[in-house]
Amino acid sequence: MTYHTSESLSHAHITAIGSYVPERKLTNADLEQLVDTNDEWIVKRTGMHERRIAREDEFTSHLAIAAVEHMIAAFQTDLSNVDLILVATHTPDLPFPSVACQLQAHFNIPHTGALDLNATCAGFPYAIHLANGLIAGGAHRKILVVAADTMSKITDYTDRSTCILFGDGAGAVIIESKPEPKAFLGSRLGTDGTGGIHVYRTGLADTLNGQSLEGNSKLVQNGREVYRFAVTQIPQGIKELTEAAGVSIDDIDWFIPHSANLRIIEAMNERTGISREKTLISLDYFGNTSAASIPLALDLGVKSGQVKPGDLLLLYGFGGGLTHCGLLVRWG
Ligand code: UT7
């Protein structure tokens, strides 16, 4: 592991992106065969049409590797001088070794630190926030950030209120030190641990804050409570983040919220004044892919040519914890 010291602060920039979703589709019609639901309800309540589902032998590390490979193909990225790998996931193949260590081995990256971090659906902006701080402080120069989850492995396909939502995917970016101008304009992190009971998955314990949990090792969610959390906390967070950064709503080129549910996102649009046209989503054909949902939407925007170098992005993740993280950053 190499530590860098720097007398003057560096500027961190996102310089490359790639993403991957598995081939197999799970459509609303497929879900009608599994649980008592229908296409009209799902589209009206969530905006979702399809999700991608990993094969039985396909895990988060495989999706993560494929996303990095796509990034290398699109941006000719050199990984040999990456000095830290951060993987945002709550569905690693194994409790340990981490997915980050699996990436190090696969890509044979010679001198790097590697760790997974778990901020559930807010994991991507959290990891970017950390990468920015480590580069700005001079500790690192080039960080590979991957956000990947295989939600299908932890979804209860007998529970119609959750199984319609989730899909699998991965996104990868490079954050590296570059000269002026400054690309990261602000961040806002928040946590409500008392709300953890509203979306969880049991592991070693089956109680939380003294309350008993449904110990089926699949995701359990009180959708209405998470919905309420998202539509109140995130618009307030956006107000505080933009005011602190001295940025107006009109300055934002692209809003990329966690793709949890289109109704949640439309409520955020209404409450913040950020138009739907400036909002990038990935949920319509990929579902809620947890940590991967924001980089999937950003990659779609970059590949389609909508997102251009210098554009100001507002990324906002939220999810289990309960936790949330917003970032203002220029692309490229
Ligand atoms: O990424 C992690 C963060 N998670 C989220 O952001 C999830 C946030 N929450 C949501 O997206 C929504 O709450 C859901 C999509 C989960 C549910 O939508 P909702 O509009 O909040 O529905 P609801 O839970 O209030 O249920 C309304 C009705 C109920 O029937 P009754 O009690 O009114 O007769 C449910 O039983 O809809 C019923 N229902 C369904 N009907 C058909 C629930 N799921 C389904 C379904 N198909 N799949």
Confidence class for position 215, pLDDT limits 50, 70, 90:
confident
**Residue of 157, 227, 231 best suited for mutating to test ligand 1, as the one with most atoms within 8 Å of CB:** 227
Within this chain, do residues 139 and 251 fall inside the same structural domain, yes or no?
no
Residue 22 has pLDDT above 80, yes or no: yes
**Residue 108 domain boundaries:** 11-177
Within this chain, do residues 29 and 65 fall inside the same structural domain, yes or no?
yes
Domain boundary among 145, 177, 209: 177
What is the distance between the alpha carbons of residues 188 and 87, in angstroms, rounded to a whole number? 20
Tell me if 230 sits within 8 A of 260, measured CB to CB.
yes
Confidence class for position 292, pLDDT limits 50, 70, 90:
very high
pLDDT in tens, 163-201: 999 999 999 999 999 887 899 999 999 999 999 999 999
Is 99 within the bounds of a domain?
yes
Is 222 within the bounds of a domain?
yes
Residue 145 has pLDDT above 60, yes or no: yes
Residue 1 has pLDDT above 50, yes or no: no
Ligand 1 atom 16 nearest Cα: 223
Is 64 within the bounds of a domain?
yes
The single residue listed with the structure tokens 């920039």 is 13
Is residue 228 in contact with ligand 1, taking CB distance under 6 Å? no
Within this chain, do residues 231 and 163 fall inside the same structural domain, yes or no?
no
Treating both helix axes as pointing N-terminal to C-terminal, what angle do 262-272 and 223-245 enclose, rounded to 10 degrees? 40
Residue 305, judged by CB atoms within 10 A of its CB (0-12, 13-18, 19+), counts as exposed
Within this chain, do residues 143 and 204 fall inside the same structural domain, yes or no?
no
Within this chain, do residues 193 and 226 fall inside the same structural domain, yes or no?
yes
**Pairing status of strand 84-88 against strand 142-150:** parallel
pLDDT in tens, 27-73: 999 999 999 999 999 999 999 999 999 999 999 999 999 999 999 99
Is 4 within the bounds of a domain?
no
Domain boundary among 126, 145, 177: 177
Q: Which pLDDT score is estimated for 30?
A: 98
Q: Which pLDDT score is estimated for 9?
A: 61
Tell me if 50 sits within 8 A of 27, measured CB to CB.
yes
Is 5 within the bounds of a domain?
no
Tell me if 50 sits within 8 A of 25, measured CB to CB.
yes
Within this chain, do residues 138 and 169 fall inside the same structural domain, yes or no?
yes
Q: What percent of the chain has pLDDT over 70?
A: 97
Residue 10 has pLDDT above 90, yes or no: no
CB atoms closer than 10 angstroms to residue 280: 23
- Strand blocks (E) in 168-272: 168-178, 184-191, 199-200, 207-208, 211-212, 220-221, 254-257
Within this chain, do residues 125 and 209 fall inside the same structural domain, yes or no?
no
- Asked if 288 is an active-site residue, the reply is yes
For 266, the token pair is 């439309």
We report the CATH number of the domain holding residue 271 as 3.40.47.10
- Asked if 209 is an active-site residue, the reply is no
Q: What is the DSSP string of 1-55?
A: ------SS--EEEEEEEEEE--SEEEEHHHHHHHSS--HHHHHHHH---EEEE--
Instruction: Tell me what the mean pLDDT of segment 232-247 comes to.
Output: 96
Ligand 1 atom 11 nearest Cα: 261
- Asked if 258 is an active-site residue, the reply is yes
Number of domains in the chain: 2
Within this chain, do residues 160 and 306 fall inside the same structural domain, yes or no?
no
Within this chain, do residues 188 and 171 fall inside the same structural domain, yes or no?
no
Within this chain, do residues 22 and 166 fall inside the same structural domain, yes or no?
yes
3-state helix, strand, coil in the chain (%, to 5): 40, 25, 35
Residue 8 has pLDDT above 70, yes or no: no
Domain boundary among 177, 207, 239: 177
Is residue 164 in contact with ligand 1, taking CB distance under 6 Å? yes
Residue 2 has pLDDT above 50, yes or no: no
Within this chain, do residues 123 and 188 fall inside the same structural domain, yes or no?
no
Within this chain, do residues 55 and 27 fall inside the same structural domain, yes or no?
yes
pLDDT in tens, 84-111: 999 999 999 999 999 999 999 999 999 9
Distance 36 CA to ligand 1 centre (A): 12
In angstroms, the Cα distances linking 222 to 23, 175, 192, 262 are 30, 35, 15, 17
Is 3 within the bounds of a domain?
no
Q: Which pLDDT score is estimated for 113?
A: 98
Residue 229, judged by CB atoms within 10 A of its CB (0-12, 13-18, 19+), counts as buried
Residue 6 has pLDDT above 90, yes or no: no
